[in-house]
């Protein structure tokens, strides 16, 4: 198959391209915004382009059978949801014109019955925009992905290790079902090989359901051997929480604020059809954290590059 990976410079995209090259014999094309800054990990066709600029990225879709959409726009100031909407629309139109058969999109967990945060609502909107074309879309919905380079895990890690005492918002008690990056990649590859997953929406998660408090405590214990004291208080609004996280961690605020807005929504798997269908051994949270922190090298530089000073919305 001819497979396109968008977001190939990102946390998930990088790992997926590596796995495609080592575990499959598909022909891989990647779409990157700056080809000069991208070192291909092997035999991949590199196409430069930006999904916000119609006319400039469509060559990446020529002869493609299946495209992974691993893009989000929380990397610059301004309205990320508007940019995500526009990027998904441009991509769906271009995929249609190129005759792409399938799109695989990594989205966010969370119940439609809840009032979803702007971040999670935007993920849902992208799901439906991608589905407006002729390509059949497979959606994988995940909560926090644990791995080297994951912005959401980076926030957890830095909060867990930088503060011995934390006065936290109430969302610290929200349940979450984090998933290891290895498992995410395994599910991404598994759906590619199973045509019956085309057109389906699946939820994916690890074996542990934890509150954010439990994730912070376990992460701190693994890294420092100590558990911080966590004191939830009712007075911290989502906006104040975002400022607080912005002060303690170095995740760019364009990324941190929407992610923090999402932590009031429970993100747990309620439908495990994909886990029943494919053989992916779920990685325990603690194993995933140990792997992530043992490989977390060079991430600072990459995350800083995500939001370069002065970078504005396109
Ligand atoms: N990480 C998690 O915990 C998590 C959890 C659930 C779902 N997801 C979803 O998984 C997907 C991938 O997330 P990630 O963590 O890998 O994100 P990431 O590391 O921030 O990577 C985002 C990628 O999108 C690319 N991109 C952004 N705007 C673009 C544009 N206009 N045109 C072309 N490429 C563009 C970036 O390229 P540049 O290098 O040029 O910036 C980068 O490669 C997203 O949809 C996200 O919502 C992630």
- In angstroms, the CA 219 to CA 198 distance is 36
- 313 CB under 6 A from ligand 1? no
- In angstroms, the CA 15 to CA 254 distance is 23
CA-derived radius of gyration, the chain: 19
From 14, 40, 71, mutation site for ligand 1 pocket: most ligand atoms within 8 A of C-beta = 71
The CB density around residue 259, as the number of other CB atoms within 10 Å, is: 21
The set of residues, in sequence order, having a beta carbon less than 8 Å from that of 116 and lying 6+ positions away, is 110, 124, 262, 265
Q: What tens digit of pLDDT does each residue of 52-80 get? A: 999 999 999 999 999 999 999 988 888 99
- In angstroms, the CA 271 to CA 17 distance is 27
> 261: domain CATH number?
3.40.50.720
- In angstroms, the CA 232 to CA 246 distance is 18
Domains identified in the chain, total number: 1
The CB density around residue 97, as the number of other CB atoms within 10 Å, is: 12
The set of residues, in sequence order, having a beta carbon less than 8 Å from that of 303 and lying 6+ positions away, is 149, 151, 154, 250, 251, 252
Q: Look at residue 188 and tell me if it is in a domain.
A: yes
Q: Look at residue 219 and tell me if it is in a domain.
A: no
The CB density around residue 115, as the number of other CB atoms within 10 Å, is: 11
Contact 88, 132 (CB under 8 A): no
Q: Look at residue 129 and tell me if it is in a domain.
A: yes
Q: What pLDDT score does 309 carry?
A: 37
The set of residues, in sequence order, having a beta carbon less than 8 Å from that of 25 and lying 6+ positions away, is none
- 7 CB under 6 A from ligand 1? yes
What spacing in Å lies between the alpha carbon of 73 and ligand 1's midpoint? 7
Q: Look at residue 232 and tell me if it is in a domain.
A: no
Q: Which domain holds residue 110?
A: 2-212+238-306
Q: Look at residue 277 and tell me if it is in a domain.
A: yes
User: Between the CA atoms of 121, 111, 256 and 57, what dihedral angle is there, to the nearest 10 degrees?
Assistant: -50
Q: Which ligand 1 atom lies nearest to the CA of residue 71?
A: 24
Q: Which of 4, 13, 8 is nearest to 94 (CA)?
A: 4
Q: Look at residue 170 and tell me if it is in a domain.
A: yes
Q: Look at residue 119 and tell me if it is in a domain.
A: yes
- 307 CB under 6 A from ligand 1? no
What spacing in Å lies between the alpha carbon of 281 and ligand 1's midpoint? 25
Q: Look at residue 225 and tell me if it is in a domain.
A: no
Q: Which ligand 1 atom lies nearest to the CA of residue 33?
A: 40
Q: What pLDDT score does 314 carry?
A: 47
- The pairing of beta strand 165-168 with beta strand 229-232: parallel
Q: How many residues does the chain have?
A: 314
From 4, 8, 10, mutation site for ligand 1 pocket: most ligand atoms within 8 A of C-beta = 10
Q: What pLDDT score does 172 carry?
A: 87
CA–CA distance from 42 to each of 14, 299, 302 (Å)? 12, 21, 20
- In angstroms, the CA 265 to CA 51 distance is 29
The residue whose CA is least distant from atom 11 of ligand 1 is 70
Those residues of the chain that have pLDDT short of 50 are 297-314
Q: What pLDDT score does 198 carry?
A: 98
- 174 CB under 6 A from ligand 1? no
- 11 CB under 6 A from ligand 1? yes
- 13 CB under 6 A from ligand 1? yes
- 71 CB under 6 A from ligand 1? yes
- 262 CB under 6 A from ligand 1? no
Q: What pLDDT score does 111 carry?
A: 92
Q: What pLDDT score does 120 carry?
A: 95
- In angstroms, the CA 96 to CA 153 distance is 35
What spacing in Å lies between the alpha carbon of 75 and ligand 1's midpoint? 9
């Amino acid at each position: 198959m001819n497979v396109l990976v968008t977001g190939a410079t990102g946390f998930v995209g990088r790992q997926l391209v590596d796995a495609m090259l080592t575990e499959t014999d598909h022909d891989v094309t990647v779409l990157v915004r700056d080809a000069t800054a991208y070192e291909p990990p092997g035999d991949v066709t590199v196409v430069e382009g930006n999904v916000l600029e119609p006319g400039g990225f469509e060559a990446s879709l020529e002869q493609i059978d299946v495209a992974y959409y691993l893009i989000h726009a929380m990397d610059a100031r301004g309205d990320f949801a508007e940019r995500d909407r526009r990027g998904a629309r441009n991509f769906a139109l271009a995929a249609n014109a190129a005759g792409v058969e399938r799109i695989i999109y990594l989205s966010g967990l969370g119940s439609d019955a809840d009032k979803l945060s702007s971040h999670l609502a935007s993920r849902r909107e992208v799901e439906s925009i991608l589905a407006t074309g002729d390509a059949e879309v497979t959606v994988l919905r995940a909560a926090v992905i644990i791995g080297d380079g994951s912005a959401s895990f980076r926030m957890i890690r830095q909060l867990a290790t930088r503060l011995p005492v934390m006065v936290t918002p109430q969302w610290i008690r929200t349940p979450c079902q984090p998933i290891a990056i290895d498992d995410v990649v395994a599910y991404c590859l598994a759906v590619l090989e199973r045509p019956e997953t085309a057109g389906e929406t699946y939820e994916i998660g690890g074996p542990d359901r934890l509150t954010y408090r439990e994730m912070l405590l376990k992460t701190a214990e693994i890294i420092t051997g100590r558990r911080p004291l966590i004191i939830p208080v009712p007075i911290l609004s989502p906006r104040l929480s975002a400022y607080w996280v912005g002060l303690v961690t170095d995740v760019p605020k364009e990324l941190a604020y929407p992610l923090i807005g999402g932590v009031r929504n429970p993100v747990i798997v309620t439908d495990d059809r994909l886990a029943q269908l494919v053989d992916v051994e779920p990685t325990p949270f603690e194993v995933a954290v140990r792997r992530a922190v043992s490989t977390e090298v060079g991430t600072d530089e990459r995350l800083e590059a995500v939001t370069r000073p002065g970078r504005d919305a396109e």
